[in-house]
Every structure is written in structure tokens, then in C-alpha cells.
């Protein structure tokens, strides 16, 4: 079974631009979560989608948004990029997002550099 | 609010020595606790998780962790370090939904 895939793996943008990252979950998984990983802040939860609906949201500004499609694939968008948005963005999927029984599988991440 | 503290951002052990990575959590309700490992340029891989069953949890690659409610701790141990254990380790807590709170990570170096 294929793992979680994220595209692109590396991205370079300039301040003020916007970016869209894509995540394809493991087949059959309906919950997709996004995390931002930086050296200073560590791993921070962005949001979770389940059945095309945002179910949980972390403490990030509205510039960070996402969506999930009917095939469970998810995209994350960051508008008006800032230097501080440079990070590794990780996507994770699980069957239904039930913490007690599901296992969350992470993708390799998208490395975003903002110049 | 939930939070996780990992004591020691860098830990070095000799090959064959005991590995002990510390994790303390803060939670107002019984938590689910996790340890993940991250190798360079890769995502996170689940080592083990505590979900209110046995307090001693055994994971992959010989790792285990013990949930101690009185100490609010969930330290990760491995009796004998192997070179392949060198990686970044993250402790995480979740209390509801599918929202995880991660510690800042501990980088483990194994000295031959």
C-alpha cells in the first residue's frame, strides 16, 4: 500500500506570493492533518480535514487555509507569504482520525523556503 | 491546555548503552501519548502510543515507554542503543479529536 505522498517536495517562493501544497493520503484514509515544522517552534498543528470538512484548527492566521476533496486528497494554501513561513510542512493521514484506535501516518513533507 | 516538554534537545549515548529520552506532559484530562521518530528528510514514524491500557507500552525497534500519571511523564527507553537509532525523537499528546501537541524534539546521537 502506498504511503502518504506530498507534492512538491521542495518549493522556493518570495515574500507576498501564495503557495499551494498537496497531500495524497493512504488509500482508504479519510482524515488528513497538516503540521508546520520549524527549528524554533517545532511541530505545530495547522488543521485537520475529514470528509471534506475542517474538523479541527490550530492557532494560525487566516493566511493559512486548506481543503479536502471527495477522494480525500487535501491541499493547503498559504497566501501573502512571509519569511517566517519558511518551514517543513507535514501532512498526516489516518482512517477516521480517532486517536484511540487509529495510527497517524506522516508524509515526507514539503520544504518551503520564502525569500 | 495541553503541552509537552522534552528535557534535553540533544542526547548522546554510546552504542550498546541505555537510551533514555524524557517527556513530561500537561493535560487536564487523561491523555493519549505518543513517541515518534524522524530520520533526516523524512516524515515522522510512530514508535509507540499510550491509550489508557497498560502503562508500560512496547513499540517498534526495541523501544518502550512507561506512563506515570503521578509524575506526568512518558519517558522513552531502549536497553541497548544501535547506530541506526540516531534520529530526532518527538513526544506528543492528544486529548480529544485528532489534534496533536508535540514537544520540541530530542536529537539522539549514537557514538560508536
Which of B103, B39, B44 has its CA nearest to residue A43?
B103
User: Å from A30 to nearest chain B CA?
Assistant: 12
The grid cell for B69 is 500519571
* Residue range A28-52: mean pLDDT, rounded: 93
Q: Helix, strand or coil for residue B85?
A: helix
Contact of B98 with chain A, judged by CB distance below 8 Å, is answered with yes
The per-residue pLDDT for A30 is 96
* pLDDT of residue A58 exceeding 70: yes
CB–CB contact A97 B41 (8 Å):
no
Residues B35 and B44 sit within 8 Å (Cβ to Cβ): no
Cβ of A99 and B105 within 8 Å? Answer: no
User: How far apart are the C-alpha atoms of B6 and B65, rounded to whole Å?
Assistant: 14
Closest-CA residue of B relative to A111 is B41
The answer to whether A56 faces chain B, any CB pair under 8 Å, is: yes
CA pair distance A62, A107, nearest whole angstrom: 24
B103 in contact with A, Cβ within 8 Å:
yes
Nearest to A43 among B49, B90, B96 (CB): B90
pLDDT score, position A87: 96
pLDDT (tens digit per residue) in A84-106:
999 999 999 999 888 878 888 99
Distance of CA B33 to the CA centre of its chain: 9
B101 at interface of A, judged by CB pairs closer than 8 A: yes
Average pLDDT of every residue of chain A:
94
Angle at B4 between CA B16 and CA A58, to 5 degrees: 130
Per-residue pLDDT band at B97 (split at 50, 70, 90): low
Assign A42 a pLDDT band (cuts: 50, 70, 90). Answer: confident
Residue of A44, A99, A106 with shortest CB distance to B94: A99
Q: Is the confidence at residue B98, as pLDDT, over 90?
A: no
Mutate to test the interface with B, among A49, A95, A104, A108 (most CBs of B within 10 A): A104
* pLDDT single digits (tens) B67-85: 998 999 999 999 999 999 9
For residue B60, give the 3-state DSSP assignment: helix
- Picking from A55, A101, A103, the nearest residue to B97 by CB comes out as A55
Q: pLDDT tens-digit profile of B4-59?
A: 999 999 999 999 999 999 999 988 777 899 999 999 888 899 999 998 778 899 99
Query: Of A5-9, A48-52, A65-69, B98-102, where does mean pLDDT reach its minimum?
Result: B98-102
The answer to whether A99 contacts B43, with C-beta atoms less than 8 Å apart, is no
Amino acid at each position: 500500500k502506498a504511503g502518504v505522498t506530498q507534492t512538491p517536495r521542495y518549493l522556493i517562493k518570495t515574500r507576498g506570493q501564495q503557495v499551494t501544497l498537496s497531500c495524497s493520503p493512504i488509500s482508504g484514509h479519510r482524515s488528513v492533518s497538516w503540521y508546520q515544522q520549524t527549528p524554533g517552534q517545532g511541530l505545530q498543528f495547522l488543521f485537520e480535514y475529514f470528509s471534506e470538512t475542517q474538523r479541527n484548527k490550530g492557532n494560525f492566521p487566516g493566511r493559512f487555509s486548506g481543503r479536502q476533496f471527495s477522494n480525500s486528497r487535501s491541499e493547503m494554501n498559504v497566501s501573502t507569504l512571509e519569511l517566517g513561513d519558511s518551514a517543513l510542512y507535514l501532512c498526516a493521514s489516518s482512517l477516521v482520525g480517532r486517536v484511540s484506535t487509529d495510527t497517524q501516518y506522516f508524509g515526507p513533507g514539503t520544504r518551503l523556503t520564502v525569500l | 491546555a495541553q503541552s509537552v516538554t522534552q528535557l534535553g534537545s540533544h542526547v548522546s549515548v554510546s552504542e550498546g548503552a541505555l537510551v533514555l529520552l524524557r517527556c513530561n506532559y500537561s493535560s487536564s484530562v487523561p491523555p493519549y501519548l505518543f513517541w515518534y521518530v524522524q530520520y533526516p528528510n523524512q516524515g515522522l514514524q510512530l514508535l509507540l502510543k499510550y491509550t489508557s491500557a497498560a502503562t508500560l507500552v512496547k513499540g517498534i525497534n526495541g523501544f518502550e515507554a512507561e506512563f506515570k500519571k503521578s509524575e506526568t511523564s512518558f519517558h522513552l527507553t531502549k536497553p541497548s542503543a544501535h547506530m541506526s537509532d540516531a534520529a530526532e525523537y518527538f513526544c506528543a499528546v492528544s486529548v480529544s479529536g485528532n489534534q496533536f501537541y508535540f514537544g520540541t524534539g530530542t536529537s539522539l546521537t549514537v557514538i560508536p
